[in-house]
């Protein structure tokens, strides 16, 4: 009896924590469908006017497309480097592999503000502050650990006999990778790429340090608006920041479920 009560209490506590974390995010959605000039959880004037104003604003559309461009570039960069790193670590000894993995995963261990301050100092010397290239490099760096972990875990579950058989039949290493390894790695690559896009699109701290007046991303612009200009558009913009990564993630989940159903 006491065990059941403990488990029920633990379940209630877990649900309460999840609700506490998710509820503020969910509340943003109905707030964005309100024409009133004040923030209301239950809209008193239901309307799409906030979204109409948002998509008619060249200023907000510019930072939106810039964020998508940066996130897509960081996604491609981190995915390519992550796949190469995952393939390379599998061929290293245990000590060298542990050291190499720790170095690649460190961007997720070191606080973002420390990475941002260090990057600001180095990029200031290189003249990359306020440049798209500088932001893409750092976004790719913090997305790299996610790509590495996902791809590496999938590679470890692939039977190496297929690649060895391909090599014994005369296939070049690139042919073996493309025709044997890549099809088995496809879903992990899609998931890693989508996660990298999400990490880059939502990144605020690094972008605050590295962006300039002409290279602000959507989260940075949103941050500035919250700090200096409380606008009725903020719920609509916040909802957009939430929904865009979800729309990118949804096809990856669908593909994964479809693949499992077919197998």
Chain-centroid distance, C-alpha 147? 10
Residues 6+ apart with CB under 8 A from 4: none
**Residue labelled with tokens 């913009």:** 237
Residue 26: enclosing H or E segment and its boundaries? helix 2-31
Chain-centroid distance, C-alpha 153? 18
The predicted-structure confidence for 4-54, as pLDDT tens digits, reads as follows: 777 777 888 888 888 888 887 788 888 888 777 777 777 777 778 888 888
CB 150 within 8 A of CB 191: yes
Query: Is the full-model pTM beyond 0.85?
Result: no
The predicted-structure confidence for 66-122, as pLDDT tens digits, reads as follows: 998 999 999 999 999 998 888 888 877 778 888 888 888 888 888 888 888 888 888
Residues 6+ apart with CB under 8 A from 145: 104, 105, 106, 107, 108
Write the DSSP symbol of residue 48: S
**Domains (range + CATH), the chain:** 58-262 (1.10.3720.10)
Comparing CA positions, the residue from 204, 198, 178 lying closest to residue 249 is: 198
As a whole number of angstroms, the distance between CA 127 and CA 129 comes to 6
Given pLDDT bands bounded at 50, 70 and 90, which one contains residue 136?
A: very high
């Amino acid at each position: 009896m006491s065990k059941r009560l403990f488990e029920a209490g633990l379940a209630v506590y877990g649900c309460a924590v999840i609700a506490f974390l998710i509820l503020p995010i969910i509340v943003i959605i109905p707030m964005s469908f309100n024409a009133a000039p004040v923030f209301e959880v239950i809209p008193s004037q239901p309307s799409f006017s906030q979204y109409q104003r948002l998509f008619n604003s060249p200023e907000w559309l510019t930072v939106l497309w810039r964020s998508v461009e940066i996130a897509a570039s960081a996604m491609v960069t981190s995915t390519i480097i992550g796949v190469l790193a995952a393939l390379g670590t599998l061929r290293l000894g245990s000590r060298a592999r542990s050291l190499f993995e720790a170095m690649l995963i460190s961007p997720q261990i070191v606080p973002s503000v420390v990475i941002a301050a260090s990057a600001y100092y180095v990029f200031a010397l290189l003249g990359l502050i306020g440049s798209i290239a500088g932001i893409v490099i750092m976004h790719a760096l913090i997305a790299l650990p996610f790509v590495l972990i996902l791809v590496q875990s999938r590679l470890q579950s692939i039977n190496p006999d297929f690649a060895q058989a391909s090599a014994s039949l005369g296939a070049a290493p690139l042919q073996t990778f493309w025709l044997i390894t890549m099809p088995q790695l496809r879903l992990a690559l899609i998931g890693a790429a989508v996660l990298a896009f999400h990490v880059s699109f939502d990144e605020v701290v690094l972008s605050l340090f590295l962006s300039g007046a002409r290279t602000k991303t959507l989260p940075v612009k949103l941050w500035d608006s919250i700090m200096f200009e409380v606008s009725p558009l903020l719920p609509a913009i916040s909802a957009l920041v939430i929904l865009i990564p979800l729309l990118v993630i949804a096809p990856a989940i669908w593909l994964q479920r479809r693949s499992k159903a077919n197998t």
